[in-house]
Amino acid sequence: MKFISTVAMTAALFALSAGSLVKAADQNITTNTNSFSVKLGATRVIYPENSDGATLSLANPQSYPILVQSSVVAADKKSPAPFIVTPPLFRLEANQQSRIRVVSTGANLPADRETLQWLCVKGVPPQQAGNNASHSTDTQINLQLSINTCDKLFFRPASVKGGPDDVANQLTWRRQNGALQVTNPTPFYISFASVHIGGKALSGVEMVAPYSSATVPFSATASGEVEWQVITDLGGESRTFRAALK
């Protein structure tokens, strides 16, 4: 899952000739916008319990260098998580690729199911010197957009074998108080690539946690067989699974 962090906007101060006043209507305003984003090489990272670390490739798609800052946070996207990223901050040249490594700090996570964390990578604008306008009627506004991209990080205990597409056929679907309820009796987080009822696509179904249920609104007149595909460990789409709607 990807999202954009709070936009950092920096406005350069404009210089005025000594003793002169410039009316806003007479100013030539130039806006320069630079985005600082990082392209990640996968949509999810699987961290096996007995692993000595997991890596993720990333790239700088801009034509200028950026700083890359990475961290792991808990499922709420706020709390600290028991993982560190190396390097936590580094410079990535224009149109270049690199890798970061995630290492567990040894926290006591559940041994019977996956645990969801988020690996967040942000492009950080480098500090810039102040801009000097060429004359008193020029104003430059520099907008710098710092974009934070987060991937799912699944910690997978040694007792959990296989992948989500190996057990996705165990999901059950039923009507529940005007909504569609999906129940996941497996130790995996199940992320959906698509869900159809009676051949019609259903939106709003994203993921269901291990040993739990999730509900989404759907049409009361919907009927027919439920068909779904899940996202595999490699980020691809699984085969289609089918079940009756109860």
Tens digit of pLDDT for each residue in 118-128? 999 999 877 65
- Please give the class, per CATH, of domain 164-244: mainly beta
Residues in the chain: 246
Amino acid at 56: L
164 φ, ψ (degrees, to nearest 5)? -60, -30
Q: For the domain bounded by 32-127+138-156, which CATH number is listed?
A: 2.60.40.10
Report the alpha-carbon distance of residue 181 to residue 195 in Å, rounded: 12
pLDDT at 102: 97
Same fold for the domain at 32-127+138-156 and the one at 164-244? yes
> What's the pLDDT tens digit per position in 166-221?
999 999 999 888 888 999 999 999 999 999 998 889 888 899 999 999 998 887 67
Domain ranges in the chain? Answer: 32-127+138-156, 164-244
Q: DSSP for 30-89?
A: EEEEEEE--EES-SEEEEETT-S-EEEEEE--SSS-EEEEEEEEETTSSSB-SEEEESSE
Which residues on adjacent β-strands are paired with residue 180? 175, 216
